[in-house]
Amino acid sequence: MIEVDTVGGLGNIVVDTQSHRGHPPEYWAERCTQRICSISETAEPHIKQQAEAFRLAIYSAILYYIKQSINSERCTMKNNLTKQGHDDLATILKELK
């Protein structure tokens, strides 16, 4: 009989929730930025400063494109509703922000 002892781990599990809405674009931009770049606690101060500037640039770019994507999807949904004859719903969707 062969026995194998294994230990598994999932790492840190974090749960973020919202009440009656989804997460805003800023939340997703921050999560994405954290996955792309991290800054070592032991890095030299000038390296940390450059890394923080890079992290902020990444965050800003991600946030911009997330917001563009949301606007694009809303436009597509509005046009699809209009094509299907649901002008009232299309108008409501256009006014939502």
| Tens-place pLDDT, residues 74-96 | 999 999 999 999 999 999 998 98
What gap in Å lies between CA 25 and CA 22, rounded to an integer?
9
| Tens-place pLDDT, residues 27-78 | 999 999 999 998 998 999 999 999 999 999 999 999 999 999 999 999 999 9
Q: Which residues of 34-68 are buried (b: 16+ CB within 10 A; e: fewer)?
A: eeeeeeeeeeeeeeeeeeeeebeebbeebbeebee
Q: Are 32 and 20 in contact (CB under 8 A)?
A: no
